Amino acid sequence: MALKILIAAGGTGGHIYPALAMADAFRARYPDAVIEFVGTADGLENKIIPAKGFKVHHLPIGRLNSNVGLGERLKTVLRMPFAFLRSISILRSYRPDFVLGVGGHASGPLLLMASLLRYRSAIWEPNAMPGLANRWLSSFVDDCWVVFEEAKPLLRGSHKHRAGMPVRAEIENLVMPDRAASAEFRVLVFGGSQGARGINNTVLELISEGGEWMKGIHFVHQTGPADFPRISAGYASLRSPPVEVKEYLHDMGQRYAAADLVISRSGTGTLSELAACGKAAILIPLPTAADDHQRKNAESLVQKGAAVMIVQKDLNVKSLREAIMSLRANPDRLKEMGRAIRTFHSPKAAEVLVGEFVERIQDASR
């Protein structure tokens, strides 16, 4: 019989893209494997996962983190019994050989029910600070896989393992060109697929101020859809601004390859791609991220000399300009940061993880 895999993933690209990388690795190893996903009806997963050829089941569940309002948390609690019942229905009709939780609101109910119904189950935690659902689930699932060693003590259970961060093949397989010392200094700015208003505003103000320090610098600025009209209009009002402004970048691999420095948030999806490409970065953690996990991710890299961090409350034109100027003036430090962040990359992480999962599935069936 074909191997049947059920993956709970959704909410952000940091959950969805690694899950898809693992699904592709399962499919490459077992071409006849049946792989389906579980998410929520209004999540980003519905735009990305079906386009890759996978079915998405929906659970009626929302957020419980302390960074959301009391009303939303209460609504989530009231809908929880329906999410549990829907999870049981999906599991009993699909009867998976393995259930994997990669993050997103649907992971909690599905993985808990899978564990109680004795399906082989595991969670994969990409952040230095594990999410609320994964902290709860770690007592129930068979295995916990973490990207950051700092996450292990925060999870319960005895089966905790270090794992790499799966990266999209089009990013992982890139060959990074050597940038000539005299070449234009290129800065790539983005805040994820939806953009980041705090970063957008500061970068627009920075470029609007201008100054001699900007000679020889070129910016590529992805704004996200919400801010694109306003930010692009701001640049249009300037005389020959050294910036290429985009609502969304569909060629991220090529943009990484061309960049000398990246300015971004510090979600795990972004960090995994920076590590795969060996790119120096100024990280500006999202202050409202659940459990402040983006700051903890960035701190882990900063401690190893792999990135520079500016927290949101300290982000302004002066602090950003000084950080860019300092790194531009020190190419050796840029190279060392690139080498240091590269150590966070585990080549072929999806394939390695799938191999571990299959071994445990086989052990459970003996």
pLDDT surpasses 70 at 181: no
pLDDT surpasses 80 at 209: yes
Amino acid letter for position 9: A
3-class secondary structure, 56: strand
Backbone φ, ψ for residue 13 (5° rounding): -60, -30
pLDDT of residue 204: 97
pLDDT of residue 174: 82
**DSSP state for residue 175 in the 8-state scheme:** P
**Cα-Cα-Cα-Cα dihedral sign, residues 312, 318, 321, 323:** negative
Give the pLDDT band (50/70/90) at residue 258: very high
pLDDT of residue 225: 87
Look at 34 and 163; give whichever has higher pLDDT.
Answer: 34
User: Contact at 8 Å (CB) between 27 and 33?
Assistant: yes
pLDDT of residue 43: 83
Q: Is the pTM of this model over 0.85?
A: no
Q: What share of the chain is helix, strand, coil (3-state, %, to 5)?
A: 50, 15, 35
How far, in Å, CA of 128 to CA of 171, rounded?
A: 22
Give the pLDDT band (50/70/90) at residue 44: confident
Domains and CATH numbers, the chain: 4-166+348-365 (3.40.50.2000), 171-342 (3.40.50.2000)
Give the pLDDT band (50/70/90) at residue 333: very high
